[in-house]
Structure 1
Amino acid sequence: MRVTGGTPPTGDTQVDDCERRRWSAWRVGLGLTLPLAAVVLMWVLLAWRRNILDEGGTVFVGAAPLMGRWRLDFKPEFVVAVVLGLALLVWWPPLVRRLAWNRLLPGSWLVSLGWTLAINMHGGWRRLGAPLDSRQDYLYTARNTVTDPFDFLRTFTRELRTYPIHVQGHPPGPVLGLEALERLGISGASGSALVLVGIACLASPLVLIAVRALVDESEARRVAVFVGLTPSVIWVATSVDAVFAAVAVASGTALALAAVRSGAWHGDDRARSNPWAGGAMAMLGGLLAGLLAHGTYGAALFLVPTALCLVVLARHRRWAPVGLALFAAALPTLLMAGAGFWLLDGLRGTVEAYHDGVASQRPAGFFRLSNPLALAISIGPVVLAALPGKRRVGAWILVGGALAGLAVAEMSGLSKGEVERIWLPFVPWLTVATGAIPLRWQRGALGVQLVSGLAMAVMLGSPW
């Protein structure tokens, strides 16, 4: 049943909670076991790290499995986060059920933005932009290197080794984006950071739109309680990778809408008379995918849910939206190539720099365990426990697509540490798993997520 707005009917809620979403004892037990297993594995990891250091090796991860250092520092500013967390715990779950759909979407963005800022403003306004001020980040290059964007593109691959480490690891898109903000008058790291976090938090309402399109509104409202409130908000406010997450989610959402509007999903035969239905959304999704590829070389892995929506269109022979999406996806690459930057040359140079850098000193086996643990911390215990839950096909396109991308990322060996930041684009889609949590458990589960995020902010000194 699709709810078009306002308060969902009580009967529908009861059916969802008592019949369609009934969790068996073994599934609940499995869900509770996963976070406990993560804690045990973390202790194993810490012992392993000590052993590596004792033998003269290094992992360059001070708060294994996370980058930074462990410490206990409850600043007075955290009181704001505590008060906001309590308010969310009391009012957000019932508001999610009562708000009209067109109010829930901006509400989700505001909640995500508010919680992200509350968690990250403990050092004041300057702390918010401090990571962007690092000499190793993109803003330093945008300010001190880019005078002519076209010349920067032409020489980017040739001069790659002269750039800071984060710039070496990505296409030129992030540097050009921040340089554009400077030209628009948004100067200063804190101003840029505020723009970036505002964009990043758009992932929350976009996820809800995708879930509503591929599953139903009831499922989207369940997810709305948790999306944007994972412990990963610690890195959302201070990393361009969170913007990549929003772009990846926007691309997947656009293709999901294209599949629905073209009749390839939910079996809407009426759309077959118009082969161009969903074409605009398909073009938008393809264009965003092409832009993402010039922001991060991991775009192909972050866009697996987008690709699955494209497969749905192809299976139902909706060739017009498929063609438009592929054409739009190729446009950024063609334009960048015309300006002097070829994506594959940049990727080749980055892989060489990666293997010549600290990655060559980091033991691969250690990070086979470290990376999944870092992701588990990032998504929080509730999302981790919800992943084994039973869900409908539309939700599996999003959650399963993210898990498939994660598996390839882990097997590639091109992510040795720092994945709490690098893998941020997977987090919004994984949060869709919370749609399987029964309504009567939502408030308690939300409390666990909020406390986890606040605890991480108090205990972890992160460079981002």
Structure 2
Amino acid sequence: MKTEDVTPTDTADGTGHGPPAPPDRIDERARRARRADLIAAAAGVLLVVAAVLIGRVIQDRYQTLFAQWPPFLASWDPHLGPGTPAALTMAVLVVAYGPSLAARLPWRGLLAAAWAGSMAWVFSMALIDGWYRGVERRLTTKHEYLRVIDRFGDIPATLRGFTDHILLDAPDNWPAHIAGHPPGATLTFVWLDRVGLGGGAWAAVWCVVVGSSAVLAALITVR
């Protein structure tokens, strides 16, 4: 086995430069890595479940969270739709072939595949509600960014007075998402509109493409 073909965990001394480790040691390391992954995933699931249960108790008892499904501002509505087959297919493919594919791909290929897979997953989930409701209309509702694009005709002036419209009782108060985020988020959609990519469809595609790149940040961080 050539030195460049091995990783540090494949050698007896763990440095990548010593003699190859015995197969049973490599298998044991792989099993430990899988156990660690499962423990991390289970911990994440338990954290979400705990947040939901505790949030539900607080909301039912004190009505202070103003969220229908704490900790999410959402409603429990399981349903099927056009994107369901694609979402299920993506889930099966990633579970069945993701680990082996990741082990074979070069680093840049892994990043590209992970980003593409992430985008496919998000799009398929959004399309469960169909193109119009799940994608095109999503950022055009009363709480969303696209409802205020016309108020940014003079960007510097709007930014100077941005904080004057945050509070709920302020004159011409911003919708929830605009008030709850720095103005840079809204400016992203203003600039998209100005370069000819206005409307809900382009805004949604932008969010999916850019948002799904978070998987790249995770991979680069843990490399």
**TM-score w.r.t. structure 1 length?**
0.38
Could you tell me which of 124, 138, 145 is aligned with 1:138? 145
How far apart are 1:7 and its partner, in Å? 8.3
Q: Distance in 1 between matches of 2:43 and 2:217?
A: 31
1:63 matches 2:69: yes
Alignment correspondent of 2:124: 118
Runs ≥4 in structure 1, deviation > 6 angstroms?
28-31
Alignment correspondent of 2:17: none
Alignment check: 8 A CA contact 1:84 1:115 kept: yes
Letter in 2 for 1:51: R
Alignment correspondent of 2:79: 73
Unpaired runs of at least 5, structure 1: 213-464
Within 5 Å, give how 1:335-350 maps onto structure 2: none
Alignment check: 8 A CA contact 1:81 1:119 kept: yes
Within 5 Å, give how 1:26-45 maps onto structure 2: 35=45, 39=49, 42-43=52-53, 45=55
- Alignment CA distance shift 1:41-1:169 (3 Å): closer
Unpaired runs of at least 5, structure 2: 12-20
How far apart are 1:72 and its partner, in Å? 2.8
Alignment correspondent of 2:112: 106
How far apart are 1:77 and its partner, in Å? 2.9
Alignment check: 8 A CA contact 1:7 1:99 kept: no
Higher helix share: 1
Alignment correspondent of 2:14: none
- Alignment CA distance shift 1:106-1:75 (3 Å): same
- Alignment CA distance shift 1:190-1:17 (3 Å): farther
1:150 matches 2:161: no
1:183 matches 2:209: no
Identity over aligned pairs, percent: 26
- Alignment CA distance shift 1:181-1:17 (3 Å): farther
- Deviations along 1:174-225, whole A, 9 cap, x unmatched? 121111000111121111110121111222123322322xxxxxxxxxxxxx
Alignment correspondent of 2:135: 128
How far apart are 1:42 and its partner, in Å? 4.2
Task: Report the RMSD for the aligned CA atoms in angstroms.
Answer: 3.4
**TM-score w.r.t. structure 2 length?**
0.73
Q: Distance in 2 between matches of 1:176 and 1:157?
A: 15
- Alignment CA distance shift 1:40-1:149 (3 Å): closer
Within 5 Å, give how 1:406-417 maps onto structure 2: none
- Alignment CA distance shift 1:9-1:99 (3 Å): farther
